Structure 1
Amino acid sequence: MITREHRTPLSEWWWTVDRLLLAAIIALMLAGVILSLAASPPVATRIGLDPFHFFNRHILFLVPSIVVLIGVSFMSPRQIRRSALVVFALAVLLILATLAFGPEVKGAKRWITIVGVNIQASEAAKPSFIVIAAWLFSESIRKPGMPATSMAVVMLIMLVSLLILQPDFGQTMLILMAWGSLFFIAGMRMVWVAGLAGAAAGGLFLAYFMVPHVAGRIKRFMDPASGDTFQVDTAMEAFSNGGWYGLGPGEGIAKRSLPDSHTDFVFAVGAEEFGILLCLALLALFAFIVIRALSRAYATEDLFSRFAASGLAILFGVQAAINMAVNLHLIPAKGMTLPFISYGGSSMISLAYSVGMLLALTRMRPRTEVEAIDAHVARTYA
Structure 2
Amino acid sequence: MKELINNLKGDKGIWSFVMLLALISFMPVFSASANLVYVIGKGSTVGYLVKHLVHIFIGFGLIYLVHKIPYHYYRGLSKLLLPVVALLLVYTFMQGTVIDGANASRWIKVPFIGVTFQTSSLANIVLMIYVARYLAKMQDKPITFKSSVIELWGPVFIILALILPANFSTAALMFSMVSMLVFVGGYPLRYLGGVIGIGAAMLAIFILFALAFPKAMPNRVHTWMSRIENFTNTEEGEDQYQVEKAKIAIATGGVYGVGPGKSEQKNFLPQSSSDFIFAIIVEEYGLLGGLTVMFLYLMLFFRFLVSAHKAKSLFGKLLIVGLGFPIIFQALINMGVATELLPTTGQTLPLISSGGSSIWMTCISIGIIISVTKKEEEIAAEIKEKEDREAVLNQLIEEHILREKQKEEAEAAGIAEPAAYSVEDAANPMRAVMGK
Same fold (TM over 0.5): yes
Displacement of 1:54 after TM fit?
2.5
Larger Rg: 2
Structure 2 residue 222 is the aligned partner of structure 1 residue 212: yes
**Quick one: distance in 2 between partners of 1:185 and 1:231?**
37
Query: Aligned to 1:187, what secondary structure does the other structure show?
Result: coil
Find the aligned partners of 2:308 and 2:119 in 1 and give their Cα distance. 27
Task: Give, as a single letter, the amino acid of the residue that structure 1 aligns with 2:35.
Answer: P
Please state whether the residue corresponding to 1:17 is helix, strand or coil: coil
Q: Give yes or no for the alignment of 1:164 onto 2:164.
A: yes
Gapped runs of 5+ residues in structure 2? 212-220, 384-436
Cross-structure match for 1:377: none
Mark the CA change 1:253 to 1:196 in structure 2 (over 3 Å): closer, same or farther. farther
Q: Which amino acid counterpart does residue 351 of structure 1 have in structure 2? A: T
The partner residue of 2:86 within 66, 85, 92 is: 92
Structure 1 residues 60 and 89, CA gap change in structure 2 (3 angstroms)? farther
Q: 1:2 to 1:249 in 2, by over 3 A?
A: closer
Q: Alignment partner for residue 70 of structure 2, among 53, 70, 76? A: 76
1:208–1:224 Cα change, 3 Å: farther
27, 39, 47: which one pairs with 2:40?
A: 47
For 2:36 and 2:364, locate their aligned partners in 1 and report how far apart those are by CA, in whole Å: 28
User: Conserved in 2, the CA contact under 8 Å of 1:242 and 1:271?
Assistant: yes
Assess if the C-alpha contact under 8 Å between 2:71 and 2:316 holds in 1: yes
Q: 1:101 aligns with which of 95, 113, 116?
A: 95
Per the alignment, residue 300 of structure 1 pairs with 311
Q: Is the 8 A contact 2:256 2:286 kept in 1?
A: yes
1:223 is matched with 233
Deviation at 1:156, TM superposition (A): 0.7
> Which deviates further from its counterpart, 151-160 or 97-106?
97-106
Contact 1:293 1:362 in 2 (8 A): no
Cα distance change on mapping 1:294 and 1:367 into 2, 3 Å? same
Residue pair 1:137, 1:148 contacting (<8 A) in 2 also: no
SS in 1 for 2:33: helix
Structure 2 equivalent of residue 314 of structure 1: 325
In the TM superposition, 1:12-23 aligns within 5 A as 14=8, 16-23=9-16
RMSD between aligned residues: 2.6
Match of 2:120 in 1: 122
1:275-354 aligned within 5 A: 275-354=286-365
Q: How many angstroms apart in 1 are the aligned matches of 2:198 and 2:84?
A: 28
Per-residue deviation, 1:208? 6.3
The structural deviation recorded for 1:27 is: 0.5
Contact residue 107 and residue 116 of structure 2 kept, 8 A: yes
How much does 1:219 deviate? 0.8
State whether structure 2 residue 180 is matched by structure 1 residue 187. no
- Distance in 2 of aligned mates of 1:355 and 1:42: 30
Equivalenced residue count is: 362
Q: Distance in 1 between matches of 2:282 and 2:252?
A: 9
Q: What is the DSSP-based 3-state SS (H/G/I as helix, E as strand, rest coil) of the residue aligned with 2:139?
A: helix
Aligned to 2:341, what secondary structure does the other structure show?
A: coil
Partner of 2:378: 365
3-state SS in 1 of match to 2:72: helix
Q: Given the superposition, is the C-alpha separation of residues 35 and 317 from structure 1 closer, same or farther in structure 2, using an over 3 Å criterion? A: same
Alignment-mate amino acid for residue 126 of structure 2: S
Q: CA–CA distance in 1 between the matches of 2:318 and 2:299?
A: 19
The list of structure 1 runs, each at least 4 consecutive aligned residues, that deviate by more than 6 angstroms after superposition, is 367-370
1:110 aligns with 2:106: yes
Structure 1 window deviating more from structure 2 (220-229 vs 115-124): it is 220-229
Distance 1:205 1:333, change over 3 A: farther
Aligned-pair identity (%) = 27
Cα shift readout 1:10-42 (whole Å, capped 9, x = no counterpart): 96x64x511011100110111112221121122
Task: Report the equivalent of 1:131.
Answer: 129
Call closer, same or farther: CA 1:89–1:46 in 2, change over 3 Å: farther
Is 1:153 matched up with 2:153?
Answer: yes
Q: Which amino acid aligns with 1:129?
A: L
Listed one character per residue, the Cα deviations across residues 162-195 of structure 1 (whole Å, up to 9, x for unaligned) are: 0023x11011011011101101101122223333
Tell me the secondary structure at the aligned position of residue 142 of structure 1.
Answer: coil
Go from structure 1 to structure 2 and tell me whether the alpha carbon gap of 1:149 and 1:297 turns closer, same or farther (over 3 Å shift): farther
Cα deviation per residue 1:206-244 (whole Å; 9 max; x = unaligned)?
A: 666642211111111011226441000000111100011
2:61 equivalent to 1:67: yes
In 2 relative to 1, CA 254–10 (structure 1 residues): closer, same or farther, beyond 3 Å? closer
What secondary structure, in the 3-state scheme, does the structure 2 residue paired with 1:362 have? helix
Deviations 1:264-285 (A, max 9, x none): 0000001000111111111111
SS in 1 for 2:73: helix
Q: Deviations over 1:351-374 (max 9, x none)?
A: 11011011111222317999xxxx
Is the CA contact 1:219–1:226 (under 8 Å) kept in the aligned structure 2? no
CA 328–204 in structure 1, closer or farther in 2 if over 3 Å, else same: farther
- Partner of 1:366: helix, strand, or coil? helix
Offset at 1:127?
A: 1.4
Deviation at 1:111, TM superposition (A): 1.4
1:307 to partner: Cα distance: 0.9
One-letter amino acid of the counterpart of residue 113, structure 1: K
Please tell me the residue identity of whatever aligns with 1:133. V
